[in-house]
Amino acid sequence: MGDLQKEVKLLFESNSSIEAVEQELLQKGYLKQDVELAVHKFASTLRDEKSDRKNTESRKFFLKELLDRIGYGLGGEQYITILFFLSGATLPLIAVVNGLKAMLTTISSTFIREYSTEKGIDKRMISYAGILYGYCFIMMATAVLLHSPILFLSFILVSALCIVSYGEFYQQFMRDSLSAQKEGLVGFVYKYGLLITVISLTLAAVLMDRFELISLNFSLFGKQISFSFLSYLAVFEAAALFFIVSGYVVSQLSSSHTKKGILREIFSYVPEYIRKIRSDFALILKNRPLIILTLATSLTGFVQMLGNSLYWIFIYTHFSGIGFGPFLNVAMISILALITSLITPLITRENTKAYGKYPMLIFGTFLMAIMPLAFHFNPNLVSIGMGTILGVMGAAIVGIANGMLCAELVSREIKAGFFGVYTLLTLLPYILLIPLGAYLLNLLGISRLFLLLALVLLLLVVPLYFIMMLSPKLKMQSFN
């Protein structure tokens, strides 16, 4: 029987079917009942091992997703912006750095998405990016401690590259590894991921508001040991730990996606990528509706970027002595924004089909303008909370209507890579808009700049959509 089991194993390892294995063993003179028993036993063992491997992989994915959700809450973008301000950075510098970060994130995101689609991914890149992203939090917290905005901005930019690599590569890796199945433990995180992030976001705010110092006292071998951490340092150290462990968990996942010289391959892909986008650029620039839409999208994105650079600092400083607390006020407004961004897309797509893309673009832009107007004219927590809800709702409406309009205007031959190229085109005006925004912020101050942001949306962006909607030639022109 021992020899029979060895034969069965060898035949299965050669990828033979059950019927073929049984037939070959019978031809070798083994009894039918012994063959059926041995094959059934080995097949059951294989199924159990496969099921165990799948469960083990699912648990690793679950742990990775859980760690990320907590880490994103503890190290939220709003907290990074505020701590950058506390490191000694001026508001114009914060605006410039966030603008550069937006450009860097967008460019690297479109490149990585294209690369991973064509060339595949390597889990080591995900793992290294996650671990390095965690270390960026340690260095940013250190920069606040040292009161060094230059050190802080350096690691903001490094973290931008890390999080894009971490996110884009991982999504492709997860689709390949789990076959798009989000069940069990992984499904639980996807279902309740927002709640997990909200809890960690709130916990971070409570710690930073309530405790300037977090002290730990314990006894080791009869000796009393005490540690004290500045609260923001402890929160960012915790965020770092979650991302570092998450990156390590990725390295333990099973994968056939392992390549040698991955960095060399990525850099060698750059010329090919540039050639591809140049041809798509030329096609897009021949289309007048898309040029107008690109300009409108660029101005809208710039207003959002500059606003998000300042909204959280304004809430933190303006309401430091009232409400829930400086950081907790920020957390409460952030939670409103998160919930709104989750709900709005569920109802927007059908309304866009019913009312038309141009009316929804105009309506959404008006809603977006309410947010900076609330900060300028009526800066209290209730008004800002309502303005945030309406502004985020407007941004979601504009985003969905914009995407549907783009899909209508482009031809089939470039539709696959269009959105990446289109996104890159919207960045071109940033070269002028970022330094101009920083200059105007320095000249006007934060409150009047909010008014200016609203006016850009109402007096520049909305008219561009009206021009597209009311001009038959522009509406009819497309690549098709």
Query: Do 253 and 306 share a structural domain?
Result: no
Q: What is the pLDDT of residue 85?
A: 94
pLDDT recorded at residue 110: 82
Does residue 252 share a domain with residue 123? Answer: yes
Residue 151, class by beta-carbon neighbours within 10 Å (0-12 exposed, 13-18 middle, 19+ buried)? middle
Among the listed residues 75, 386, 87, the one whose alpha carbon sits nearest the alpha carbon of residue 205: 75
44 and 101: one domain?
Answer: no
What range does the domain containing 339 cover? 277-480
> Quick one: 71 and 167 in the same domain?
yes
Which of 419, 437, 339, 476 lies closest to 114, judged by CA? 419
471 and 360, same domain (yes or no): yes
Give the number of other Cβ atoms within 10 Å of residue 256's Cβ.
8
According to the model, what pLDDT value does residue 174 have?
A: 67
Claim to verify: residue 8 and residue 136 sit in the same structural domain: no
Measured distance CA(22)–CA(1) in Å, rounded: 15
- Has residue 422 been placed in a domain? yes
Residue 341 shares a structural domain with residue 403: yes
3-state secondary structure of 304: helix
Which residue reads 């927590």 in tokens?
A: 381
Per-residue pLDDT of the chain (480 residues; tens, 9 = 90+): 456 566 656 655 554 556 665 566 555 555 556 556 665 665 665 555 555 556 666 777 788 888 888 999 999 999 999 999 999 999 999 999 999 999 998 888 888 877 777 766 777 788 888 899 999 999 999 999 889 999 999 999 999 988 887 776 777 666 666 554 455 556 666 667 788 889 999 999 998 888 766 555 656 566 665 555 577 888 998 999 999 998 888 887 766 555 555 667 777 777 777 777 777 777 677 777 788 888 999 999 999 999 999 999 999 999 887 888 899 999 999 999 988 888 877 777 666 666 778 888 999 999 999 999 999 998 899 999 999 999 999 999 998 888 888 777 776 555 556 677 778 888 889 999 999 999 999 999 999 999 999 999 999 999 999 988 887 555 544 444
266 in any annotated domain? no
206 with 239, same domain? yes
Would residue 269 count as lying in a domain? no
Q: Which residue has the tokens 């071998």?
A: 221
Last residue of a domain, one of 226, 259, 292: 259
Whether residues 38 and 74 share a domain: the answer is: no
Asked if 193 and 298 sit in the same domain, the reply is: no
* SS3 label, residue 147: coil
Same domain? For 30 and 94 the reply is no
The reported pTM is 0.81
Instruction: Tell which of 259, 288, 304 closes a domain.
Output: 259
Number of domains in the chain: 3
Looking at residue 30, what is its pLDDT?
59
Is 373 in the same domain as 230? no
Please report whether residue 270 resides in a domain: no
Domain end, chosen from 228, 259, 290, is at: 259
Q: How far apart are CA 129 and CA 169, in angstroms?
A: 10
Which CA distances in Å does 71 have to 207, 309, 410? 15, 21, 39
Query: Tokens at residue 267, please?
Result: 């850099």
Specify if 121 maps to a domain: yes
CA atoms within 13 A on the CB side of 38: 23
Helix/strand/coil percentages in the chain, nearest 5: 85, 5, 15
End-to-end CA distance of the chain: 69
Q: Is residue 249, in this structure, part of any structural domain at all?
A: yes
pLDDT for position 241: 93
Q: What is the sign, positive or negative, of the torsion defined by CA atoms of 415, 416, 419, 425? A: negative
Dist. CA 369–CA 199, nearest whole Å: 29
pLDDT of residue 176: 62
Is position 267 within any domain? no
The CATH number that applies at residue 113 is 1.20.1250.20
Radius of gyration of the chain from Cα atoms? Answer: 27
Q: Is residue 465 part of a domain?
A: yes
CB 216 within 8 A of CB 227: yes
